[in-house]
Amino acid sequence: MQIQDLPYADPGVPDARSGPRFLWWLFRNQLGGQLKSLAWGLLHFASVAALPFCVGVAVQAVVDRSGARLALAGGLLALACVGNAVGDTFLHRTAITNWITAAARVQQLLARKAAQLGSALTRRVAAGEVVAVSTGDVEKIGWFVEAWSRFTAALVTIVLVCVGLVVYQPALGVVVAVGLPVLALAVLPLLPRATRRADTQREKAGRATELASDTVAGLRVLRGIGGEELFLDRYRRASQEVRHAAVRSARMWSLISAIQVLLPGLLLIAVVWYGVQLARQGRITVGELVTVYSSVMVLTYPLRHFEEIAMAYSFSRPSAKRAAGVLALERATDTAGSRAAEVPSGDLYDPDTGLLASTGRLTAVVCGDPDAAGRLAERLGGHPSQEGTAVLLGGVPLDDLPLDSARTAVLVQDKDPVLLSGSLRSLLDVPASGAVESREALAAAQCDDVLAALVQGSLDAADPMDARITERGRSLSGGQRQRLALARSLITDPEVLVLDEPTSAVDSHTEARIAQGVRELRAGRTTVVFTSSPLLLDRADRVVFLHDGEVAAVGAHRELVRTEPRYRAVVTRETEDEAALNGEADLTDVLAELEEIEEKA
């Protein structure tokens, strides 16, 4: 896989049982790139390791006054330099490719999992944690995958050089062969502590990121209640904790780095001292001493990769654990699509509550518990996050369909839909049947003032469709965001559209026009609206009232207001005592007020 070939057509099915298993799975799927990086790494490190031998031959040739051997040493030196340059260039190229492709694979897996889980993801994992996993953790995982092949090449080179030195000059070669493993293993006792400190830093950074995300998302509300300073102080304290943890972690890694510098220096001193003694005794030549000395100096370079791989694993292991934790999440009702892909049609029926939404009609659902309404709306879309009986569409269980088919058949708009940043054109560029144009959907959702506000807020956009929408639509009011989200849902024109409180943030006159626009645009299509607004309820073909998780009454809005006290209490927001006091007179006032609003609208 090359960078230009990204994204992957299929990133695969990860082994998410643990962090190390996930890293091993990722390594196996990057095996081709790893082998290329290993080959170029061996060429690079072998060329670097050959330089001392060439220098030793050249020095000895000068001592012996041998022009032929000096020329040979020069040719070998030039060849080693070429191998070093070529190997280093392509090692860097393949290593970066491994890093980017591994990170891209993980990001694709996370994006696919987020699409599968939908709103269930942020219920089970904090939003800040998801952001951290998708950004910083992905980079750390890619770093370890990229560093592994370079470490392997360095390890093989060190072993070969040690063997070569023992054969070339046994007396000094044994000292080097014994000393180098000691250098490589000397920092192992410090790694667990360094890993714990790195984990602590990462946890504190994750909490600070989550706090920052929550503060930014709620800044508008915080300013309204004068609480922004309180939350900013909390973030300052959290960021200071991150700083202290980062300093403690850096101290440990600096100690490891210092050891990696000190011990090779001590080994070099020992080799020089012992080598000088051997040279005085005539047991080795000056060229052999220079060769061994230079080899020890050069081997400090591949030895640095032992420290790097230790750091990479220490940082990537918790990152891989968190990524595996997200990738291991599943919806409670996932069946991997036991049925063939199809888009069924017919009545929408929920066996748990008895709710029936007839084909081609606008059904309004009234539920006194907003949380229960949200859970039911999610269940109507198929593959919910909680266990329960599958909803039937035309007699076909939605949970048995592949997730794509279920989402094509039934679209659920949450109570708090999210607007992605970008132009309005890109926001409305969603998979759709093509039967509903964007202007029709915007008109039905009463977005005229929203379009005007977008043009006014964009300096270089004369066409509202080219106007920019800020992150999560924060430059718009709650009602404007709600209407744009409704227009986006209407454009898709699904077989069944489920709307959870789609007009809770708009005024009554706009709400009445939206109710009429949705009814006209969705004529002949099945639409389910969870609401307690009299204006929407009065436009519905059928109203279903749920009480204690079951259908308690079915009928027209005005009929239920007259005949069902519990329904009237939910719709009019009156208590039982108020209902007893107000009686029929209050009911008459409610109906009169409703008619007055409709006439004005």
In order of 279, 510, 529, 551, the CA distances from 543 in angstroms are 101, 21, 9, 10
Mean pLDDT in residue range 445-464? 82
Judge whether residue 599 has pLDDT over 70.
Answer: no
Instruction: Give CA–CA dist 409/85, Å, rounded.
Output: 58
* Helices 170-185 and 138-168: angle between axes, nearest 10 degrees: 160
Closest by Cα among 369, 465, 380 to 414: 380
Residue type, 94: T
Q: Report whether 532 contacts 571 (CB < 8 A).
A: yes
Question: Are 62 and 84 a contacting pair, CB within 8 Å?
Answer: no
Pairing of strands 355-357, 362-367: unpaired
* pLDDT, tens digit (0-9, with 9 covering 90-100), for 65-115: 888 888 988 898 899 899 989 999 999 999 999 999 999 999 999 888 887
Q: pLDDT tens for residues 249-275?
A: 889 888 888 887 888 888 888 888 888
DSSP assignments along 357-407, one per residue:
E-TTSEEEEEES-HHHHHHHHHHHTSS-SS--PPPEETTEEGGGS-HHHHH
Give which of 103, 112, 90, 92 is closest to 6, Cα–Cα.
Answer: 103
3-state secondary structure of 411: strand
pTM of the model: 0.69
The pLDDT value given to residue 585:
44
Share of the chain above pLDDT 90, in %: 27
Q: Classify strands 362-367 and 542-547 as parallel, antiparallel or unpaired.
A: parallel
* 145: exposed, middle or buried (Cβ count in 10 Å: 0-12, 13-18, 19+): buried
Question: In which element (H, E) is residue 498 found?
Answer: strand 496-500
Residue 582 tokens read as: 């107000």
Cα-Cα end-to-end distance for the chain:
60
DSSP letter at 168? H
Tell me the per-residue pLDDT of 338-374, one tens digit each, with 9 for 90 and over. Answer: 677 788 889 999 999 999 999 999 999 999 888 888 8
- The pLDDT assigned to 332 comes to 64
Average pLDDT estimate for 182-207? 80
